[in-house]
Amino acid sequence: MSTDVRPAGEGHPGFATTRWSRVLLAGERGSTGHERALEELCGQYWLPLYAYARRRGYDAEDARDLTQAFYAKLLEKRDLSAADPARGRFRTFLLSSMKNFLASEWRKEHALKRGGAVEVLSLDFESGEESYRLEPSHELSPEAIYDRRWALGLLERAVNDLRGRYETAGQPELFDALKDYIGGGDDALPYSELARRFDQTEGALRTAVSRLRGRWRERLRELVADTVEEDSEVHDELRRLVSFVDIGV
């Protein structure tokens, strides 16, 4: 069995770097690609926003309603059209908008009744709550939880995107066996055991792991590049991501 698959990166469909263009497109109601761009952005950021609301002291049901209501406001007021790349990172813009929403919409008006928010997006809040419960119960601020969830989301997307490439190559089992080596985890099986399982030499598997790590770093860099305006910002944003989750990249 060959341990090589095509590397992820430039030239692969679905891996296009979009950056702020996706944000601006999501804010242009009626434009071509608006709905898809909006769905992508909401899908990437709802869990960090939900976790932020939970750490601010809202219970699971209120945090769910808040997240839905916040997105409803973005759609209704067309707030995304006001997002300005010159003012900083999109995740910072979104968090600032959420803070303003909590202050002006929720605390002052109490317009929403429990469970009464209009569902504008189909979001898996049950799994979101399970993820939130895995967070440290103290020390981290709501802002830190938001940043941590954003970082973990990018890491998970990078891993899932790579798994898709191995599935296409007919090697999902190999990927599942090698992925624990990406971050140098203690759960990774010994190379000797993997060599017997996949009828490969340990040297071949070490080479496959090295390639996988390189492709994971490449894909992660692409995903981070989607969140900033300039190439020069990618390195600093990667450093922030690492600091949010305390991993080696």
Q: If you write DSSP's letter for every residue of 17-36 in order, what string do you get? A: --THHHHHHHTSTTSTTHHH
* One domain, residues 205 and 111: no
User: How far is the C-alpha of 151 from the C-alpha of 131, rounded, in Å?
Assistant: 13
Q: What is the dihedral of CA 17, 154, 42, 122, to 10 degrees?
A: 130
With respect to residue 77, please indicate whether it lies within any of the assigned structural domains.
Answer: yes
127 and 168 within one domain: no
Structure tokens at 183: 């971050």
Does a structural domain hold residue 140? no
Q: What is the pTM of this model?
A: 0.68
Looking at the structure, do residues 234 and 187 belong to the same domain, yes or no? yes
Q: Helix, strand or coil for residue 231?
A: helix
The answer to whether the beta carbons of residues 15 and 9 sit under 8 Å apart is yes
The residue whose two tokens read 């709550």 is: 129
List, as one string, the DSSP characters of 128-157: HHHHHHTS-SSS--HHHHHHHHHHHHHHHH
**Residue 81 resides in a domain:** yes
Question: How far apart are the C-alpha atoms of 129 and 146, rounded to whole Å?
Answer: 14
What local confidence, expressed as pLDDT, does residue 212 receive? Answer: 92
Considering the domain architecture, whether residues 180 and 241 belong to the same structural domain is answered as yes
Domain count, the chain: 2
CB neighbours of 64 closer than 8 A, spacing ≥ 6?
Answer: 50, 117, 125
Domain identity same for 39 and 66: yes
Question: How far out from the chain centre does Cα 242 lie?
Answer: 13
Q: For the chain, 249 residues long, give each residue's pLDDT as a single digit of tens.
A: 444 443 333 333 332 333 555 555 555 555 555 566 666 767 778 889 999 999 988 888 888 888 888 887 776 666 565 555 555 577 888 898 899 888 876 554 454 554 555 555 555 667 767 777 766 656 788 998 888 888 888 888 899 999 998 999 898 999 998 988 887 655 678 999 999 999 999 999 999 999 999 999 999 998 888 777 777 888 888 888 888 876 555
Do 128 and 160 belong together in one domain?
A: no
Q: Among 134, 167, 196, identify where a domain stops.
A: 134
Q: Is residue 10 part of a domain?
A: no
Note the residue count of the chain. 249
Whole-number pLDDT of residue 19: 53
Residues 107 and 87 both lie in one domain: yes
- Domain contains 240: yes
Among 134, 164, 179, residue at a domain's last position:
134
Where in the sequence is the domain holding 184, given as residue range(s)?
A: 145-249
Choosing from 134, 167, 201, the residue where a domain stops is 134
**How much is the pLDDT for 3?**
47
Q: Among the residues of the chain, which ranges form H helices?
A: 20-26, 34-55, 60-77, 90-101, 108-109, 125-133, 142-168, 172-178, 191-198, 202-225, 234-245
